[in-house]
Amino acid sequence: MATSFDEKYSQSIVNLANVGRPDYSRDETNLYADFVELMVVFSKGDGIAYGDIQDRFFGEPDEKNSTEINDDNESLIGGIINVIKERLFLFGGLYPFMVLPEQTIILKSDLTSSQKLYLFLLFSSSLDIFSSFNTELTTDFEFVSYEAIKTFLPNAIVKHFGKLSEYTGSAIEKIKNLANDIGLPFDDYEIGCIGERNNQERGLDIVSWIPFEDKCQNKVVFLCQCACGKQYESKQHDIRRYQNYYRFYKTKPQLTLFVPYSLINPKENKFYHSDYVEGDYLIFERLRIIRLAIQKEDLLSFLKSTCLLEKCIHDYCA
């Protein structure tokens, strides 16, 4: 029997309630900030204050703890609040949250489409909480990423190759047909190593290339992967195999990763945990995706997970 929407929604609430404090390293304050934002969404309109985070993560202050432990705990919470305040300026009008003078974080009223898209990406980066909506969120994330790169490369050809693939048949057939569309030769031996019964896309979700009027094989090709899981850094090897499948002529493909996380560190103008990102990769993270994808008219109406967004917003305001 199929699980109903209400059952899946209730399970998400239970999943969130069962996490006292996320299992992140203390320096992953951007991920902790995501968790606090989820706490806000499910706070029934009361918002989340500094003390709420303290109670959730560490319980009542314990005089038996050393001063060093208490200072470390306060430093973590202060760091999370600082990241959220940085997002207020980084995202500007795209950010769906507000920080009141007493440091209570609340969800704005009358959210715009851009702000709802932020929540969608927040949920997509929290599949451990929204595990019952995994299929909807990951499929929609691929669609949103597709729209983002279409905006980024207005003169390019863009093709779905993952969950929403425009290609059918075995993995070998898909890879060969894509090579023909791009206009690149392929390596029979490397492709022949793929199992004949394998129907998966072998890590490639979206592919885009900028065509010339001539048929010369020298062109810019974007090989894109969409990764919602928190261990996205381990998936960056997947699309590199296409450098073995295809014979790129005089230029390397642009390896591209779409992630729903907020990675931009505005103080450094780099990414949080830059060591998670391999060289040669172009990254589209939460801010970049919102600014690009939202340019598609009525974007949210195409998403299967919009009902989840609206339910969360309704319950917060009720």
- Indicate if 170 and 253 belong to the same structural domain: yes
pLDDT of 172 higher than 70 = yes
The more confidently predicted of residues 265 and 208 is 208
Q: Mapping DSSP to helix (H, G, I), strand (E, B) and coil, where does residue 254 land?
A: strand
* Average pLDDT of every residue of the chain: 91
Q: Give the domain extent around 11.
A: 5-132+307-317
Query: Is 90 a member of any domain?
Result: yes
pLDDT at 195: 73
pLDDT at 114: 97
Q: Which of 22, 314, 18, 3 is nearest to 134 (CA)?
A: 3
pLDDT at 235: 73
- Indicate if 154 and 249 belong to the same structural domain: yes
Query: Is 302 a member of any domain?
Result: no
Query: Is 111 a member of any domain?
Result: yes
- Indicate if 117 and 148 belong to the same structural domain: no
pLDDT band at 202; cut points 50, 70, 90: low
pLDDT digits (tens, 9 = 90+) for 285-303: 999 999 999 999 999 999 9
- Indicate if 26 and 117 belong to the same structural domain: yes
pLDDT of 139 higher than 80 = yes
- What is the arithmetic mean of pLDDT over 269-280? 83
pLDDT of 64 higher than 90 = no
- Indicate if 192 and 62 belong to the same structural domain: no
| Helix runs in the chain, H state only | 5-17, 29-41, 50-58, 67-91, 113-124, 134-152, 171-182, 188-192, 242-245, 286-293, 306-317
- Indicate if 113 and 242 belong to the same structural domain: no
- Indicate if 79 and 195 belong to the same structural domain: no
Q: State residue 224 phi and psi, 5-degree precision.
A: -115, 135
- What is the arithmetic mean of pLDDT over 208-230? 92
pLDDT band at 62; cut points 50, 70, 90: low
Query: Is 77 a member of any domain?
Result: yes
CB distance 204 to 224 below 8 Å: yes
pLDDT at 198: 57
Tell me the C-alpha distance between 88 and 110, whole Å. Answer: 17
Alpha-carbon separation of residue 192 from 113, 186, 249 (angstroms): 45, 11, 21
Please list, in sequence order, all residues whose beta carbon lies within 8 angstroms of the beta carbon of residue 69, skipping any fewer than 6 positions away: none
- Indicate if 106 and 16 belong to the same structural domain: yes
- Indicate if 122 and 141 belong to the same structural domain: no
- Indicate if 46 and 189 belong to the same structural domain: no
Angle at 258 between CA 245 and CA 184, to 5 degrees: 25
Report the domain count for the chain.
Answer: 2
pLDDT at 122: 98
Tell me the C-alpha distance between 118 and 124, whole Å. Answer: 10
pLDDT at 196: 65
- What is the arithmetic mean of pLDDT over 235-262? 91
Q: Going by DSSP bridges, is the β-strand pair 105-107/97-99 parallel, antiparallel, or unpaired? A: antiparallel
